[in-house]
Chain A
Amino acid sequence: MANLIQRVALRGDAEAFAELFRTYAPRLKSYMMRQGADPMTAEELAQETLMTVWRKAGLYSDERGSATTWIYTIARNLRIDRVRREVPWQALPEGHHETASDDVAPDEALSLVERKSRVQAALQELPPDQYEVVSLAYIEGLSHNEIAERLGLPLGTVKSRMRLAYQKLRSAVEDLNEQ
């Protein structure tokens, strides 16, 4: 996928873009619908996410994150802006680009694919109760309090499940951070 974005970035390759679109737009439409957008708005936001990828592909830096992560952050911020109608404070990865040398080792770039596959594996291995709160936060867009209400759990339990999930992810990638 990173390769497709590079083809879009370097050559304005419309075919590479069409493939990115086929892969991501339908899933992003599902994402927007789960976040509470009606189907028409969800489709518009999915289309707009991909158009942003097209316009900003030249800024995409392979060093900062995987292509899919970059697309996720664009979609998330668009959702905060249009569905929640709030200001997104989350920086897109390119905002940090110039400080990359401070906190990302050069060979860390090589381990990004490895990193993503470890995060994916750690996610699949989460116990169901931890997976559930993580998914409610990311996919349904619920706050800690809303998750507690939805599941009928004390707030402290929701937070501690999230912390446990976080710690598992971090230990799955820890040795990559130390390289």
Chain B
Amino acid sequence: MEENRIRSRWSGLRRFFAAFVNQANLLGRTFREGDTRTRLSFVLMGFGNLVRGQVAKGLYYFLSEAVFVVYMVLFGARSLVGIVTLGTKTQYIEAIPGQVPKVIRGDNSMLMLLYGVATVLLVVWFIATYFWNISSAMQAQRAVEKGEVLPGLRTEAREYLDAKFHVTLMILPVMGLLLFTVLPLLFMILIAFTNYDSSHQPPGSLFHWTGLYTFKALFSNSGVLGGTFWPVLGWTITWAVIATASNYVLGMLLAILINRKGVRFKGLWRTVFVMSIAIPQFVSLLLMRNMLDDFGPINGVLQHWGLTSKFIPFLTNATFARLSVLVVNLWVGIPYSMLITSGILLSIPKELYEAAAIDGASPFRMWTKIILPYVVFVTGPYLITQFIGNINNFNVIYLLTGGGPSGLTYYQAGKTDLLVTWLYKLTVNTRDYSYASAIGICVFIISAILSLVAYRNTKSYKKEETFQ
């Protein structure tokens, strides 16, 4: 099993490289077998299509080349250099006696990196287009040699509603992804390997490539950054484990309770709980924050009834705050798992219950021996998704405590801060972008490992094709 999987991953890599070799071969073969018009397409993209009557296609390739060349000459080449240097001229203030001091603009490392990454993406797109152009020229030549009629614009266009419909479907979403997810993410990942922190802010000053320096600082046992990272990571994991487990078990109990045979008004009960999912979290959680305030209504009522003489620091004492977020998270999370497990509980084969009842099993034993194993088995992937979701559970922490109470020995973090809320604070409050990115990469690695375990082992991933 294990061996197979490793082998299949290697073969995946091999296929990846084989694809490159294939493309290179295609170039060679086309050059050998192509006629002059096809060969000219190597330099003048779209030439082969254009002279053989496929005007629209030819023009598209030709214009792509033209746009690309103009862009590279005017701008692109410079940004490719910029991504290496990240700027050399620092901005400074020229003070000539007797005149108003003047700011002499230097390089802006941030923009240079951003444009550099964008240019790299553009180059990748151009290389792909270039290969399409070559193979399209060869195809046109072959078709003409065989005496076939070349597909015109209308036929080709119709293809995009049929055999190539996936291109039509995916072009817009993929462009959206490239612009708003891939480009920003590549940019931010690269930032983790620079010193773009609060003391290196463009345009005032430059930042540079620093390799793994940020990660070393983050993982070090000494130093304020490492002294924050490890405790925050520890709390993140603790939080995720407790939050996931408690929500899951209690949600399931609630589902069992509502789905109990004799209980009526099931829809009404469910609706009450579903309401807490429906109310926007910034409303419900901000409200909870104020309810749990030192001078808020809960403390007010407790003191009014004489249950406590002083306020309880629900959100201002580290231990209390950690407990409070876990408890409030139950309010938010139980209805979700109730909804999910409800569906599953109804799908448990009735025979299982009946057999157990005949054998004289108590309700508790029934729950631990039948329901729990069955539901855990079916919801395994969901459980792991929930765990990852809790590691990234920004809203509950940020809206309730804002990460506080602040840890005095921490850098920009509090006692209830998760990695993601710390990341957010570093981004927004202090602009320590390189630290923030490094933390983001850590969160990614944690999620990636967990997801690999979850997805690779599920049947639906392995046997996707047979399932359909």
- A in complex with B: no
